[in-house]
Amino acid sequence: MKILSLVAAVAAFLLPLASEPAAAQTYPSRSVRIIVPYQPGQGTDVATRYLAEYLTKAMGQSFFVENRAGAGGNIGASEAARAAPDGYTLVMGTNGTHVLNQYLYGSMPFDPEKDFEPVMLVSSFPMVVLAAANSPYNSLSDLLAEARAKPDTVNVALPSTTARLVLELLKQQSATSLRGIPYKGSGTSMTDLVGGQVPVAIDTVSASRAFISSGKLKALGVTSLNASALLPGVKPVAAQGVDGFQVVAWNGLYVPRGTPPAVVQKLNAELGKILALAEVRHRLLELGHEPALGSPAELADFAKSERHKWGPLITKVGLKAE
């Protein structure tokens, strides 16, 4: 009797493992939703909808986007964390939902590490330090020299949390004092910057590239460690006297914790093929995203390194969600 019980127990343990490859072979057998925790038309939303079309073609079932905006992305990410771990609910996470928010908000409705399985880092996008066309700043060196000569007098428009973090890290690593001016979104800050009401801003490439191309704004530096294909010819901040400076926003695909590993690997493989296509890479660059590739483990390690980088800084300067 004990032997039979042991056999039954082993069989019960092995059955789910044996069924995983079969589940991956038939996955997906119905529509798959991708939660985007932001408003329609926002950068992450546009890129996700574009990739969803390719996933639909590649995997033979509809991959469709649902927008669940609010609380800096926490509402949508929380819904994804509570979804069944079967591969039919994905979420396009960001550096906000899966790194920054846990330090910016007093309480979180989900744990970005424990409640999710990483699939792949999809794209990254540096910020850019911008100056009005009529400002005296023609390089980052000009800006930092002014900030050292006249501490806390140079106003910098900050339309996002990531922009606030760029400024804090820049102040820390360059030993300068710049005065941050919070804005609610890029629309107003771009208007004020182009109009000369504020001399400097920090924003995304996608929000500012048209103004740079038309000569209405000057790009003083990108916040990626190396030069970015998004803004050819613009020097990184790290190459202008602030050694090692790097801040990138990013998108990463996640599924709820407990999703079968074989399904995670299948999603990773199919998305990897899509992101390797020249036409996809070109289009994402047009949308302001630098395509990325990698394994689930690489996304997990990257997110962990981001937490180690930003957690202490956010705590030190006392940043809170607005």
Q: CA 57, CA 76: separation in Å to the nearest integer?
A: 25
Considering the chain, what percentage of its residues have pLDDT values greater than 90? 80
In the predicted structure, residue 10 carries a pLDDT above the cut 50: no
With b for 16 or more beta-carbon neighbours within 10 A and e for fewer, the 220-245 pattern comes to bbbbbbebbebbeebebbbebebeeb
- The pLDDT score that the predictor gives to residue 321 is 83
Q: 31-125+249-317 with 126-239: one CATH topology?
A: yes
Q: CA 81, CA 102: separation in Å to the nearest integer?
A: 15
Please answer whether residues 248 and 223 qualify as being in contact, where contact means their C-beta atoms are separated by less than 8 angstroms. yes
Q: What is the mean pLDDT of residues 223-235?
A: 92
3 state SS of 31: coil
Q: Which CATH number fits domain 31-125+249-317: 3.30.70.1060, 3.40.190.150, 3.40.50.720, 3.40.50.1820?
A: 3.40.190.150
Per-residue pLDDT tens digits for 13-24: 555 555 556 666
- The pLDDT score that the predictor gives to residue 187 is 86
Strand intervals (E) in the chain: 32-36, 63-67, 89-94, 116-132, 155-158, 179-182, 200-204, 217-222, 248-256, 290-291
pLDDT band at 1; cut points 50, 70, 90 = very low
In the predicted structure, residue 207 carries a pLDDT above the cut 90: no
- The pLDDT score that the predictor gives to residue 54 is 98
- The pLDDT score that the predictor gives to residue 20 is 56
CB atoms within 10 A of CB 57: 10
pLDDT band at 7; cut points 50, 70, 90 = very low
CATH class, 126-239 region: alpha beta
**Domain coordinates of the chain in residue numbers?**
31-125+249-317, 126-239
Paired sense of beta strands 89-94 and 248-256, if any: antiparallel
- The pLDDT score that the predictor gives to residue 291 is 95
Considering the chain, what percentage of its residues have pLDDT values greater than 70? 92
Per-residue pLDDT tens digits for 169-206: 999 999 999 999 999 888 899 999 999 999 999 998 88
**Residue 121 β-bridge partners:** 252
